[in-house]
């Protein structure tokens, strides 16, 4: 019976590895129709007419619907659920985002009409016949230029500014800069990423005219939130009349958090077509064009230091691309999930950050694995290394001099957050030991002898995850609470069903959550069933993102288990003819303290459902629910070290070694956690070396397929070497901190610091493609020769 804290193979892998998982596209209904969306081919145009007659008359077509039809039916706008108040006290601009465009199209891939036909091919063929008449407008695609006279995306925001937000103390930061011995400066671009889950987004929408109920099967990371948005904002369906079911979901990385135009439109259309079930599955090109993208920041940063390398102040000025419309959490990502992390692992006393969120004619930008925190870590860790290079200091030593120390926790940063626990120096020392930093110079010389350039780069990342206390996020503008719920039900035969509002789409919750419960009740993991992803079965939930599932969802489960034990004690006391106060519970057994009189939890559960001999005043059943709202975020942190070897003749960057030492507090399943780190690093390496969503100046997405958007593969990566330290989270019952985004947050800075170390210049931006690296290396060699 393995405990939490030990590796258990993932229960869910049996179905995933044998091809018996059930994904949204595997669901079919008799008489279902298929939806194909007609999408904008121009990035910016006023709609003058949409000609649908030919498509309507095409074989098999049941309907061709446009924004006008939605307007007539009162279909609402997709909301952004987080209001950011800018530095002038104004709420952010929130132009409407209609599922089907009404007046203008605003990016390539925007939704113009939906064609619904008997078969997918009929719908696709008919979609070709829809003719969009437009007046073309100039496109605005570059965030750096969006505020300087670029074409206006929304009339409500004539200068394309969504908000001008600041955090930190300007006066204190200015003061710090005045006393500085040195100011390190950098221009940084955080490249646009396009999420690529294995399974594309999909939905199957059904309306039942008999009961006036809807059933939406869809690829969502948070079915309850999807239900809330469709109900409260877009379609006005009473929540209890809408079931949202997310069966197996093949990855999300943030892109499946949001309510999108497609499933919204299919739910609405299913009723319009008298209850015809409507199915839609994205083609990969649609995912590239219209799933929410990530990152896309342009930043100027300055770090003030004294002569000994102590950080005195940090100034950060960022323009964040929000795309053409505000996606559900878009406003919060470059503000509260970015600016608040700019202290990093350091005691920098004064920080000021200014962020301007801008509209452009590009796909909406929202949370993508890490969401704001990779961008913050990238700024801080590139700046730290830049400062070390400017001052001729060892990058390890400069960090050591500035780390928050273990006795300073809880640590209040100058940018709002209070770090809960950590030991940053210990993590760094462990990483240095594993990578053998002491002998790095020898390895560099050995590379030089072979004509190669070797570099080492560090990234001391911190993140705030386990999203998070409802009161705090509410004060910051969130429109939702960020608690999690759990129901833990003993069945009469002693097995346990757990209903969680978290949603696993690759993270292994069916195993790790079962471990939490199995350990508490002294049961085999296989006797615990984790049910998730269905508003029809799970009372309430807020879903999975922000590495919150274990810290918040798992804590709710732990609390519900405690309630089960409390009730079980009453039943056991009766069965054992003892006082409740004398009953102890340990690993599945209720025992009268100091005796060998005991009842197993299985016996107690049976008595709860067959209450022939039962305490008076106690309800039958052993089934408890808990809501958990954390007191703080959790603050995982760690040190990633990348060592690269560059071939200046080809521009090839080989990642020679990668060491990650992380602190996730108490770990439930080391294997699952390692898997999360591996996947996270791979994603960060992708951003640093090869991934970039590029729009040309005409607003066309030129990286709209795998031909042009390069993803990392196994042979691009080394075998990662993982170390762990553990400072338990002091404020949740598991002591756990989130791990799901850490690798992605840490990796880009580590890799770019290593590449720039090897090349001897910071003049290279992400992604450091072969071409860019080759050009930079050649330029350096030429300069050296001159």
Three-class DSSP category at 439: helix
Output the six-digit token pair for 213.
């109920």
Q: Return the ∠ at Cα 634 (arms to 628 and 635), rounded to 5°.
A: 175
CB of 99 to ligand MCN, least distance (A): 24
Q: Give 365's DSSP letter.
A: B
Continuous H helices in 18-128:
53-56, 67-72, 120-127
Nearer to ligand MCN, 574 or 737 (CB): 737
Q: Which of 506, 602, 638, 684 binds ligand MCN (CB under 6 A)?
A: 506
Terminal alpha carbon distance of the chain:
68
Q: Which of 738, 743, 748, 767 binds ligand MCN (CB under 6 A)?
A: 738
Nearer to ligand MCN, 372 or 648 (CB): 372
Strands 294-305 and 311-323: antiparallel
Instruction: Please give the residues from 573 up to 602 whose contact with ligand MCN meets the rule CB under 6 A.
Output: none
Q: Which of 37, 163, 253, 338 binds ligand MCN (CB under 6 A)?
A: 253
CB of 743 to ligand MCN, least distance (A): 9
Q: Which of 95, 151, 251, 621 binds ligand MCN (CB under 6 A)?
A: 251
CB of 130 to ligand MCN, least distance (A): 33
**Is position 550 an interface residue for ligand MCN (rule: CB under 6 A)?**
yes
Nearer to ligand MCN, 722 or 754 (CB): 722
CB of 482 to ligand MCN, least distance (A): 12
CB of 661 to ligand MCN, least distance (A): 14
Nearer to ligand MCN, 270 or 512 (CB): 512
Output the six-digit token pair for 33.
């129709």
Stretch that binds ligand MCN, among 101-109, 419-427, 556-564, 663-671 (CB under 6 A): 663-671
- DSSP code per residue over 380-430: HHHHHHHHHHHHT--HHHHHHHHBPPGGG-SEE-TTS-EE----HHHHHHH
CA distances from 646 to 415, 596, 662 (A): 38, 68, 27
CA distances from 591 to 582, 587, 785 (A): 8, 11, 81
CB of 510 to ligand MCN, least distance (A): 9
Nearer to ligand MCN, 254 or 651 (CB): 254
CB of 678 to ligand MCN, least distance (A): 10
Three-class DSSP category at 189: strand
Which string of x and - marks every residue 508-537 that binds ligand MCN (by CB under 6 A)?
xx--x-------------------------
Give the integer Cα–Cα distance in Å for 718 and 684.
Answer: 14
CB of 233 to ligand MCN, least distance (A): 23
CB of 281 to ligand MCN, least distance (A): 18
Stretch that binds ligand MCN, among 544-552, 569-577, 601-609, 755-763 (CB under 6 A): 544-552
Nearer to ligand MCN, 605 or 672 (CB): 672
Give the integer Cα–Cα distance in Å for 415 and 173.
Answer: 12
Within 13 Å, how many C-alpha atoms sit on residue 340's CB side? 20
**Is position 505 an interface residue for ligand MCN (rule: CB under 6 A)?**
yes
Output the six-digit token pair for 645.
């070897």
CA distances from 554 to 8, 508, 734, 776 (A): 17, 12, 8, 48
Q: CB of 646 within 8 A of CB of 457?
A: no
CB of 217 to ligand MCN, least distance (A): 18
Which string of x and - marks every residue 332-371 that binds ligand MCN (by CB under 6 A)?
-------------------------------------x--
Q: CB of 739 within 8 A of CB of 547?
A: yes
Give the integer Cα–Cα distance in Å for 628 and 184.
Answer: 43
Stretch that binds ligand MCN, among 19-27, 344-352, 590-598, 737-745 (CB under 6 A): 737-745
Nearer to ligand MCN, 251 or 275 (CB): 251
Backbone angles phi, psi at 641, to 5 degrees: -125, 125
Closest CB to ligand MCN: residue number: 506
**Is position 568 an interface residue for ligand MCN (rule: CB under 6 A)?**
no
Lookup result for tokens 């989270």: 729
CB of 74 to ligand MCN, least distance (A): 34
Which string of x and - marks every residue 670-699 that binds ligand MCN (by CB under 6 A)?
--xx--x--x--------------------
3-state secondary structure 188-231: EEEEEECCCCCCCCEEEEEEECCCCEEEEEECCCCHHHHHHHHH
Q: Which of 12, 110, 385, 741 binds ligand MCN (CB under 6 A)?
A: 741
Q: How many residues bind ligand MCN (CB under 6 A)?
A: 36
CB of 346 to ligand MCN, least distance (A): 24
Output the six-digit token pair for 477.
């503008």
**Is position 544 an interface residue for ligand MCN (rule: CB under 6 A)?**
yes
Q: Which of 545, 606, 658, 695 binds ligand MCN (CB under 6 A)?
A: 545
Q: Which of 100, 542, 739, 773 binds ligand MCN (CB under 6 A)?
A: 739
CB of 546 to ligand MCN, least distance (A): 5
**Is position 669 an interface residue for ligand MCN (rule: CB under 6 A)?**
yes
Output the six-digit token pair for 596.
């060998």
Output the six-digit token pair for 452.
């190669």
Q: Name the nearest CA neighbour of 302 among 183, 459, 387.
A: 183
Instruction: Please give the residues from 194 up to 233 whose contact with ligand MCN meets the rule CB under 6 A.
Output: 197
Angle between helices 395-402 and 373-391 (to 10 degrees): 110
**Is position 548 an interface residue for ligand MCN (rule: CB under 6 A)?**
yes
Backbone angles phi, psi at 775, to 5 degrees: -60, -45
- DSSP code per residue over 297-314: EEEEEEEEE-TTS-EEEE
Give the integer Cα–Cα distance in Å for 203 and 620.
Answer: 40
Nearer to ligand MCN, 241 or 678 (CB): 678
Stretch that binds ligand MCN, among 75-83, 245-253, 338-346, 601-609 (CB under 6 A): 245-253
- DSSP code per residue over 503-538: --SSS-HHHHHHHHHHHHHT--GGGEEEE-SBTTTS
Give the integer Cα–Cα distance in Å for 367 and 193.
Answer: 11
Three-class DSSP category at 427: helix
Residues that bind ligand MCN (CB under 6 A): 197, 251-254, 369, 505-509, 512, 544-551, 664-669, 672-673, 676, 679, 736-741
């Amino acid at each position: 019976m393995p405990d939490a804290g030990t590796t258990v193979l993932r229960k869910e892998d049996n179905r995933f590895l044998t091809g018996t998982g059930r994904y949204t596209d595997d669901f079919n209904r008799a008489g279902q129709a298929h939806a194909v969306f007609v999408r904008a081919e121009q990035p910016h145009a006023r709609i003058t007419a949409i000609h649908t007659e030919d498509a309507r008359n095409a074989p098999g077509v049941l309907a061709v619907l446009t924004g006008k039809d939605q307007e007539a039916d009162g279909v609402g706008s997709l909301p952004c659920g987080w209001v950011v108040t800018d530095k002038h006290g104004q709420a952010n601009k929130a132009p409407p985002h209609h599922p089907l465009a009404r007046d203008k199209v605003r990016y390539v891939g925007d939704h113009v009409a939906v064609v619904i036909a008997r078969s997918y091919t009929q719908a696709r063929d008919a979609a070709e016949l829809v003719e969009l008449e437009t007046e073309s407008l100039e496109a605005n695609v570059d965030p750096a230029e969006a505020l300087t006279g670029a074409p206006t995306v929304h009339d409500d925001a004539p200068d394309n500014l969504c908000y001008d937000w600041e955090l930190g103390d300007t006066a204190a930061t200015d003061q710090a800069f005045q006393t500085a011995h040195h100011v390190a400066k950098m221009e940084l671009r955080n490249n646009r990423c396009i999420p690529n889950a294995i399974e594309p987004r999909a939905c199957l929408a059904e309306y039942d005219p008999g009961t006036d109920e809807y059933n939406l099967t869809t690829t969502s990371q948070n079915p309850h939130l999807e239900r809330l948005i469709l109900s409260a904002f877009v379609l006005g369906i009473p929540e209890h009349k809408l079931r949202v079911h997310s069966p197996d979901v093949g990855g999300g990385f943030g892109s499946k958090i949001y309510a999108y135009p497609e499933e919204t439109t299919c739910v609405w259309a299913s009723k319009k077509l008298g209850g015809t079930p409507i199915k839609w599955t994205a083609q990969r090109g649609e995912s590239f064009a219209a799933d929410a993208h990530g990152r896309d920041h342009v930043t100027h940063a300055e770090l003030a230091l004294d002569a000994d390398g102590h950080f005195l102040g940090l100034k950060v000025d960022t323009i964040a691309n929000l795309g053409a419309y505000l996606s559900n959490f878009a406003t919060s990502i470059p503000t509260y999930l970015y600016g608040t992390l700019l202290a990093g692992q350091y005691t920098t006393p004064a920080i000021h950050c200014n962020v301007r969120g801008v509209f452009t004619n590009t796909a909406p930008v929202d949370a993508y694995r890490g969401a704001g925190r990779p961008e913050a870590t990238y700024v801080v860790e590139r700046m730290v290394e830049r400062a070390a290079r400017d001052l001729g200091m060892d990058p390890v030593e400069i960090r050591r001099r500035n780390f928050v120390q273990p006795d300073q926790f809880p640590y209040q940063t100058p940018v709002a957050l209070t770090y809960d626990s950590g030991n940053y120096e210990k993590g760094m020392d462990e990483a240095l030991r594993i990578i053998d930093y002491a002998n790095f110079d020898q390895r560099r010389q050995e590379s030089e002898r072979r004509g190669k350039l070797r570099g080492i780069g560090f990234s001391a990342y911190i993140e705030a995850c386990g999203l998070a206390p409802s009161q705090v996020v509410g004060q910051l503008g969130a429109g939702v609470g960020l608690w999690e719920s759990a129901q833990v039900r003993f069945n009469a035969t002693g097995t346990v069903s757990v209903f969680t509002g978290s949603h696993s789409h690759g993270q292994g919750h069916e195993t790790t959550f079962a471990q939490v419960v199995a350990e508490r009740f002294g049961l085999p993991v296989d006797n615990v069933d984790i049910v998730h992803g269905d508003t029809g079965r799970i009372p309430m939930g807020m879903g999975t993102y922000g590495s919150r599932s274990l810290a918040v969802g798992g804590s709710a489960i732990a609390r519900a288990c405690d309630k089960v034990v409390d009730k079980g004690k009453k039943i056991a006391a009766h069965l054992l003819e003892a006082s409740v106060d004398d009953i102890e519970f340990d690993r599945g057994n209720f025992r009268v303290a100091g005796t060998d009189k005991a009842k197993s939890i299985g016996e107690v559960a049976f008595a709860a459902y067959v209450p022939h001999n039962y305490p008076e005043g106690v309800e039958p059943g052993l089934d408890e629910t808990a809501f958990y709202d954390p007191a703080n975020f959790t603050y995982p942190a760690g040190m990633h070290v990348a060592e690269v070897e560059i071939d200046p003749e080809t521009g090839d960057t080989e990642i020679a070694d990668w060491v990650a030492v992380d602190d996730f507090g108490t770990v439930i399943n080391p294997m699952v956690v390692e898997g999360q780190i591996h996947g996270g690093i791979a994603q960060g390496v992708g951003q640093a070396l090869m991934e970039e969503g590029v729009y040309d100046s005409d607003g066309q997405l030129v990286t709209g397929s795998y031909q042009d958007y390069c993803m990392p593969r196994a042979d691009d990566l080394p075998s990662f070497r993982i170390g762990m330290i553990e400072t338990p989270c002091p404020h949740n019952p598991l002591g756990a901190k989130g791990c799901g985004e850490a690798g992605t947050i840490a990796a880009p800075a580590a890799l770019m610091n290593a590449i720039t170390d090897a090349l001897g210049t910071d003049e290279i931006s992400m992604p450091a493609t072969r071409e860019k690296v080759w050009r930079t290396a050649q330029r350096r060699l030429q300069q050296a020769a001159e």
